[in-house]
A and B are shown apart, each in its own frame.
Chain A
């Protein structure tokens, strides 16, 4: 059934295909899919530019990655003949798509493995390499994280297509102010692994897991890193640790987790799902909790109403938590064991939206038709 303008829709990428959900009231949901059966969808998005186009990053481990799109809620998919490619001179090949993001000037960005950034001006039909990043002089020193050397976070700056931040596991955070011509690293303040000390230089490289921008001030960033939870605002000389109320890992000394989401309207409000640690990437004590801050990370509160509190041992991956654009906001969390939980009251209470899905790798939500 086709979604109607004004419906809330949820786009769920899984290890085995893509699923679409829509609802008029966020109480009763309809589902469609799976699309792209058997293929991994590490990320799929609803374009915020038109509220209609859904882009899906399809990774076939056998047959290569492409970015498909639909404008009629899965009625017809346009699958291009090719995906992004590195140059012959590079000696490397794109294997997986990790991140999709639209830009304020109408472009579409893709982050890939091995770490690379590409831009499309024709909705994914053809791609151009961001050579400033893809052939960064220190690239030979980039080390992969557990999931591979992946560019997993792309944060354009609202209203300014020249500014952008990206995150690479485990090479670090890179920033550009000239539309990708040049990049600078942005990691100062992040903890050394297992130590109280923090990096005092920008260019040492850390294992960023996810970054989001604040809803009211996009110059304020929240970061879930391998070694902890951080915040940084324009003018800050370094990332600041924001872990009051969050669990901390025995191995890193900071909060461990992957996914983060910002509230769509309320400045200072963000969500995360902390895990035990890098040695055991599951929900602590088998109890699921979403942690929320409403004051820019000064303190986090634990949200559990409606979430499983017994025998819930799973991971929430880096694209596994998102908000929609409603007021009050919907919050959506997908698990590696195939449950999709959602809240329609800013996270205060939760319900199961879908169960028995394949491993959930990404969740995005919005209002159909903008």
Chain B
């Protein structure tokens, strides 16, 4: 559980910084990854659509890490966050 004053940090990858006016890291309050994405979307409308598919899962080629651990395969609401956590969003190294 994060407390008021605690925060997590989200790393926004380059292709999404058009939504954040170029900002690459965002500090916010959230108890889980779903809440973090909601908060990102509140500040930067459109962010949730870019990260989540129609079923609310992370898109197929979107990866998320909490600190060093991949959480891409989990439902965002099932990924707890704690004060000081660093969330890194990365596109899969894929394409042609």
B54→A86 contact, CB < 8 A: yes
Q: Report whether over half of chain B's contact residues are helix, strand or loop; otherwise say mixed.
A: loop
> Which of A60, A61, A82, A85 has the most chain B CB atoms closer than 10 A to its own CB?
A61
**Bound Cα distance from A64 to B19, whole angstroms:** 14
List residues 68-96 of chain B with CB under 8 A from any CB of chain A. 91-92, 94-96
B-chain residues with CB within 8 Å of residue A93 when the two chains form the complex: 53-55, 57
Contact bitstring A82-98, B, C-beta under 8 A = 1, else 0: 11011110111111000
Q: Contact check, A62 vs B49: say whether CB atoms are below 8 A apart.
A: no
Q: State whether A63 touches B54 (Cβ < 8 A).
A: no
> Known contacts A86-B54, A90-B54, A93-B55; is A62 also within 8 Å of B45 by CB?
no
Known: A81-B49, A83-B49. A62 touches B54 (CB 8 A): no
* Cβ-defined contact, A64 with B92, below 8 A: no
- Inter-chain contact count A-B, CB under 8 Å? 47
What are the residues of chain B within 8 A of A60 when measuring CB–CB? 15
Q: Which of A83-141 contact B (CB under 8 A)?
A: 83, 85-88, 90-95
Asked if residues B91 and A62 are in contact (CB atoms below 8 Å), the reply is: yes
Instruction: Tell me which of B15, B54, B59, B91 contacts A85 (CB under 8 A).
Output: B54
A250 CB to closest chain B CB (Å) equals: 29
**With A and B bound together, what is the CA distance between A88 and B75 in angstroms?**
14
Q: By the criterion of a CB under 8 Å from any partner CB, how many residues of chain A are at the interface?
A: 22
Check if B59 sits within 8 Å of A82, measured CB to CB.
no
A62, B61: Cβ atoms closer than 8 Å: yes
- Distance in Å: Cβ of B55 to nearest Cβ of chain A: 6
Interface residues of B in 12-71 (CB under 8 A from A): 15-16, 45-46, 49-51, 53-57, 59-62
CA distance A81 to B15 in the complex (A): 15
What residue in chain A is nearest B41 (Cβ atoms)?
A81
**Given the contacts A81-B49, A83-B49, A62 and B55 also touching, CB distance less than 8 Å:** no
Docked CA distance A214–B92 (Å): 44
Q: Which residues of B have CB within 8 Å of A80?
A: 46
In the complex, chain A residues whose CB is within 8 Å of the CB of B60: 95
Partner of B54 from the list A15, A66, A81, A88 (CB cut-off 8 Å) is A88
Q: How far is the CB of A57 from chain B (nearest CB, A)?
A: 15
> Per-residue 0/1 for A59-84: is the Cβ within 8 Å of any B Cβ (1 yes, 0 no)?
01111101000000000000011110
Across the interface, do A62 and B53 meet the contact criterion of CB distance under 8 Å?
Answer: no
Nearest residue in A to B50 (C-beta to C-beta)? A63
- Asked if A63 contacts B59 (CB within 8 A), the reply is yes
- The CA of A82 and the CA of B59, in the complex, are separated in Å by 14
Q: Which A positions have Cβ atoms within 8 angstroms of B? A: 15, 38, 60-64, 66, 80-83, 85-88, 90-95
Extra A-B contacts (4), CB below 8 Å, given A64-B59, A94-B54: A61-B95, A62-B61, A62-B91, A85-B54
Name B's A-contacting residues (CB within 8 A).
Answer: 15-16, 45-46, 49-51, 53-57, 59-62, 91-92, 94-96
